[in-house]
A and B are shown apart, each in its own frame.
Chain A
C-alpha cells in the first residue's frame, strides 16, 4: 500500500503548512477501527494512507482447523451487518463442491432472507452515511426499518445479527409460523418509508452539495481497482453476480440492476436506494412463488468434499463476496480464502479522496460502505 510520509520536522503545528492527521482507529466515523493517516494542507487532503488490521482474528487460519459445519459461524463475523449473505457463500461453496441438490424451498427461503439482509445492510449504510454527513434523523428512521427485518431474523434463526443462518445442505429449521405474513407486512410498508428518506435527503441542497461530485471514480478505474457491488454500479458498470452467475433462486426471479452515471457519492446513494426497491421486488416475487417441500437435502454424516478447489461468489450487499475453498479430501478444509468486497473497495479511498476536504473523506468512507470485520478478518 502507498505510504504517507509521516516524518516532518516541525516545532509546532503551525510551522509547517502540512499537517498529518490520524483519523481513527477511535474516530467516530471511520465505521469501526479503520485508521486513516491524512496529510493535510489546511483542510485539503494531499495524501492519505489506510492502516488496517485492528480487528484481525485470523478467520481464514481458524477455518483450516475446524470441521466443515463448524466454519459457518465464523463467516457471520466477517461482515457482521450482512451475516446471512456471508453464510450463504460458505454453505453454497461446500454444497456445490459436494454436488448436493438443494430442495427448491430452501433456495427460495434463502433468497428471501438474503435479500432482506441486503435491505438491512443498505439501511444501516444509509443510517451511518447520513450520520457522517450530519443528517442524524435518518439514522433512527433507517434503524427502525432494520429492526423490523432483524425481528424476522430473530424469529427465523434465533439471533439478530450473527445469525448462523444456514447449514450445509439446507436450513436448520423450516420457515417459522407467520413468516410469510411478517415478510409481507414489511414488504408492504417499506416503499412508504423509502419515500421518507428520499424526502429528507434526495433533493436537499445541502445533501446534494455534500455528495454530488464527491469521490468520483470512473468506470475504467473502478474496474481496474476491482470494485464490486454498488460502488462499481455507481460508476455505470452493470455488473451483478445475481444476474451473471445466478445462485439460489435468482435465476427464476425478475429484477433490474440500477446503474449510476457519474460515479460520485450521490450516484452510489441513488443506486443503493434503488437496490433496496429491487430487493423488495425480489422478495415479493419469491414470496409469491414460494414452493412447498423439504428444506434439507440428504447430507453425508461426515462432510468430506472431494479433493480439489472451488471458487463460489455471490452478490453481497457490499459487493462480490467470494469463497475460494481448497479441499484435500479430509473433513477439514485445506485452505479457505475470502474474497472480501470491503477490503477491495477500500483501495479506491486514496484515489477518491485526494484533493477533497476532511469532511469529504468522512463522506467517502461512508459511501464505500465498509465493515472492518471483513477488511481485517
Chain B
C-alpha cells in the first residue's frame, strides 16, 4: 500500500489497461474509482465531522463530549449511524408522501454532485475538470435549497413550513453575494475551471486570499449562511422552530439531511480553499515529492485537507461562540452589507487589475511578465513581484474602502447604531424601610 506512493505514475493505469481498453479506462473505470473514493470519503467525513464538532464544542464548554464508544468516543459516529439506520421512519399522517420521501435525496445529491469538479489534488486528484467548474458549483449547490423548501412544505407542519420559507429566502439572498464575491478572484485567474484557478495561483505562487481579502470574507460568511450554520441557522433554529424544516423527519431520512449539511460545509470550505487559499498548492510540495507523482498527489491532498480543516474549524468556532441572528437582521446583513460589499469588490478589483496593467512600462516599473510564445490563459495575469505587491496592497486597502462605503450606506440603519443604544445599569441606593417584624397577628377572626 505504502509503496503505491512511490510507484511509477502509470502503475495503476498499466494494471487497468490489461483488463480494459484505453477509452474504457479513461472514461469509465477511472471516474468510477474516483467517484467511489470521494463518496466514501465524504460520507465518512460527514460522520466524523459530527464527532469533531461535538468534541470541539465540548471543549469550548468545559465538557468532554463523547467518551464511551471506543477510545475517546471515536466510534461514536458509527454507533450513531447504526442507530439512525435502524430507527423507525416516521411520517406525519397528512404529509405529502412522495415529496416527503424525495426531499432528502435532493439535498444529498445536490451536495455530492458539487464534489465532481472540486480539485482535491493535481493529476488524478481531479474527477473532472470542467471549464465552467465554478458556475457548476454555484448552480448545483443552489438546487439544494429545493430540498429544504420541499421538506418544509411536504411535512404539513407549521414549524417546518416556516423553516422552509426562511431557508428559501435566506439561501436566495446569500447566493447573490456568494456568486458576486467570486468575480474578483476570477479577474485574476481568468478562468472558471477550478483546476485552472489553482493553476493560476500556483504559477503566481500567490494565494488569491492576499489579493482578495474582502471577497474571501464575504464568500465565507455567505457560505456559512448558505449552509444554514450558526449564527445563521435560522431554518432549523431549535429554540424558535423546534427543528425547522426537518422537524418531522426521523431516522435515516433525517440523517440524510444531516449528512448533506456536513458535506455542504466541506463544499464551501473546499471551494473557498480552491479559489482563495490556493487549493492543493503549497510552496515546496513539488520539490518535497521529488518526482514521485503519487507521492506528490497525496501530499497535495494532505495540504488541501489541512486548509479545509482550518476553515471547518472556523465553522465550529463561530457556531459555538455567537448567538443566532434574527430573520430580519439576517436579511439586513445579506442585502445591506454583503451584497453592496461584493459589488464594491468587483469595482475595486477591476480598478486594481487596471492599475496593475497600466503601471506596466511606466517609469521602468514592470508589473507583468513578458510572455514567451502563445499567451497561456491558465497562467492568470502573470504578474511580477512588483505587480503582486501593488495588487496585494490595493486588495487590503479595499477592506478599508469597503468599510467606509458600508458605513456610508448603512449610516442610519438600526443594526449599525446598536452600540449607541447600549446603556449601563444605574446602581440605586434605596433607603431602607421598616423591617418585617414579628407580629402577634391575632387580630382577625378565625
Question: With A209-B415, A240-B430 in contact, do A306 and B238 touch (Cβ < 8 Å)?
Answer: no
Chain A positions 224-256 with a Cβ under 8 Å from a chain B Cβ: 238-240, 243-247, 251, 256
Q: Does A175 contact B (CB under 8 A)?
A: no
Q: Does A345 contact B (CB under 8 A)?
A: no
Chain B positions 79-138 with a Cβ under 8 Å from a chain A Cβ: none
Decide: A141 and B61 in contact? CB cutoff 8 A. yes
Q: Does A99 contact B (CB under 8 A)?
A: yes
Q: Chain A: interface secondary structure?
A: mixed
Q: Chain B: interface secondary structure?
A: loop
- Chain B nearest CB: distance from A281 CB in Å? 11
Question: With A262-B423, A266-B422 in contact, do A134 and B323 touch (Cβ < 8 Å)?
Answer: yes
Decide: B432 and A251 in contact? CB cutoff 8 A. yes
Question: With A28-B239, A258-B427 in contact, do A210 and B323 touch (Cβ < 8 Å)?
Answer: yes
Decide: A359 and B237 in contact? CB cutoff 8 A. yes
User: Who on chain A is nearest to B421 by CB?
Assistant: A212
Chain A 71-100, CB-CB to B under 8 Å as 1, else 0, gives 000000000000000000000100111111
How many chain A residues touch the partner (CB < 8 A)?
78
Chain B 347-378, CB-CB to A under 8 Å as 1, else 0, gives 00000000000000000000000000000000
Chain B 322-347, CB-CB to A under 8 Å as 1, else 0, gives 11111111000000000000000000
User: Who on chain B is nearest to A366 by CB?
Assistant: B239
Decide: B158 and A308 in contact? CB cutoff 8 A. no
Question: With A137-B320, A209-B326, A271-B425 in contact, do A21 and B158 touch (Cβ < 8 Å)?
Answer: yes
Q: Does A261 contact B (CB under 8 A)?
A: yes
User: Who on chain A is nearest to B166 by CB?
Assistant: A43
Say which residue of A22, A133, A310 sits within 8 Å of B324 (CB atoms). Answer: A133
Bound-complex Cα distance A274 to B423 (A): 13
Of the candidate stretches B33-41, B401-409, B435-443, the one touching chain A is: B435-443
Q: Does A213 contact B (CB under 8 A)?
A: yes
Q: Does B434 contact A (CB under 8 A)?
A: yes
Chain A 142-153, CB-CB to B under 8 Å as 1, else 0, gives 001000000000
Question: With A204-B322, A243-B430 in contact, do A13 and B230 touch (Cβ < 8 Å)?
Answer: no
Residues in A neighbouring B237, C-beta threshold 8 A: 134, 359
Bound-complex Cα distance A86 to B427 (A): 26
- Chain A nearest CB: distance from B196 CB in Å? 38
Decide: B433 and A362 in contact? CB cutoff 8 A. no
- Chain A nearest CB: distance from B217 CB in Å? 16
Question: With A206-B323, A274-B425 in contact, do A306 and B442 touch (Cβ < 8 Å)?
Answer: yes
Residues in B neighbouring A98, C-beta threshold 8 A: 438
Residues in B neighbouring A358, C-beta threshold 8 A: 162, 240-241
Question: With A206-B324, A244-B430 in contact, do A267 and B442 touch (Cβ < 8 Å)?
Answer: no
Residues in A neighbouring B418, C-beta threshold 8 A: 205, 208-209, 212
Decide: A99 and B439 in contact? CB cutoff 8 A. yes
Q: Does B419 contact A (CB under 8 A)?
A: yes
Decide: A259 and B428 in contact? CB cutoff 8 A. yes
Residues in B neighbouring A136, C-beta threshold 8 A: 57, 61, 320
Say which residue of B323, B428, B441 sits within 8 Å of A308 (CB atoms). Answer: B441
Chain A 343-367, CB-CB to B under 8 Å as 1, else 0, gives 0000000000000011110100000
Bound-complex Cα distance A209 to B242 (A): 22
Decide: B427 and A256 in contact? CB cutoff 8 A. yes
Residues in B neighbouring A207, C-beta threshold 8 A: 323
Bound-complex Cα distance A312 to B437 (A): 10
Decide: A208 and B446 in contact? CB cutoff 8 A. no
User: Who on chain A is nearest to B62 by CB?
Assistant: A144
Bound-complex Cα distance A99 to B439 (A): 5
Residues in B neighbouring A60, C-beta threshold 8 A: none
- Chain A nearest CB: distance from B222 CB in Å? 17
Decide: B425 and A267 in contact? CB cutoff 8 A. yes
Which bracket fits the contact residues of B? 35 or more
- Chain B nearest CB: distance from A295 CB in Å? 17
Decide: B423 and A256 in contact? CB cutoff 8 A. no
Decide: B158 and A13 in contact? CB cutoff 8 A. yes
Question: With A136-B320, A140-B62 in contact, do A310 and B433 touch (Cβ < 8 Å)?
Answer: no
Q: Does B23 contact A (CB under 8 A)?
A: no
Bound-complex Cα distance A28 to B418 (A): 29
- Chain B nearest CB: distance from A151 CB in Å? 16
Bound-complex Cα distance A206 to B328 (A): 12
Residues in B neighbouring A43, C-beta threshold 8 A: 162, 327
- Chain B nearest CB: distance from A189 CB in Å? 14
Residues in A neighbouring B323, C-beta threshold 8 A: 130, 133-135, 201, 204, 206-207, 210
- Chain B nearest CB: distance from A22 CB in Å? 8
Decide: A257 and B428 in contact? CB cutoff 8 A. yes
Q: Does A219 contact B (CB under 8 A)?
A: no
Say which residue of A99, A200, A239, A359 sits within 8 Å of B438 (CB atoms). Answer: A99
Decide: A308 and B436 in contact? CB cutoff 8 A. no
Bound-complex Cα distance A244 to B321 (A): 40
Bound-complex Cα distance A13 to B323 (A): 30
Bound-complex Cα distance A13 to B63 (A): 43
- Chain A nearest CB: distance from B260 CB in Å? 22
Q: Does B290 contact A (CB under 8 A)?
A: no
Q: Does A309 contact B (CB under 8 A)?
A: yes
Q: Does A307 contact B (CB under 8 A)?
A: yes
Bound-complex Cα distance A267 to B241 (A): 26
- Chain A nearest CB: distance from B288 CB in Å? 40
Residues in B neighbouring A334, C-beta threshold 8 A: 446
Q: Does A374 contact B (CB under 8 A)?
A: no
Bound-complex Cα distance A310 to B446 (A): 12
Decide: B328 and A357 in contact? CB cutoff 8 A. yes
- Chain B nearest CB: distance from A185 CB in Å? 17
Residues in B neighbouring A21, C-beta threshold 8 A: 158-159, 162
Chain B 232-261, CB-CB to A under 8 Å as 1, else 0, gives 011001111110000000000000000000
Residues in A neighbouring B241, C-beta threshold 8 A: 358
- Chain A nearest CB: distance from B335 CB in Å? 15
Residues in B neighbouring A210, C-beta threshold 8 A: 323-326, 329
Residues in B neighbouring A212, C-beta threshold 8 A: 418, 421-422
Bound-complex Cα distance A362 to B231 (A): 16
Say which residue of A27, A247, A258, A308 sits within 8 Å of B426 (CB atoms). Answer: A258
Q: Does A320 contact B (CB under 8 A)?
A: no
Interface residues of B, Cβ cutoff 8 Å to A: 57, 60-63, 158-159, 161-162, 230-231, 233-234, 237-242, 320-329, 414-415, 418-419, 421-446
Identify 14 new A-B residue pairs, CB closer than 8 A, beyond the known A21-B162, A204-B322: A43-B162, A135-B322, A136-B61, A206-B329, A245-B433, A257-B429, A258-B426, A259-B425, A260-B423, A261-B423, A307-B445, A312-B436, A326-B444, A362-B240
Interface residues of A, Cβ cutoff 8 Å to B: 13, 19, 21-22, 27-29, 43, 92, 95-101, 130-137, 139-141, 144, 200-201, 203-210, 212-213, 238-240, 243-247, 251, 256-262, 266-267, 270-271, 274, 305-310, 312, 326-329, 334, 357-360, 362
Task: List 5 A-B residue pairs with CB atoms under 8 Å apart, sorted by A's residue number.
Answer: A21-B159, A96-B441, A137-B61, A210-B324, A212-B422
Closest 8 CB pairs of A and B: A134-B324, A307-B446, A306-B442, A140-B61, A256-B427, A135-B323, A328-B446, A243-B430
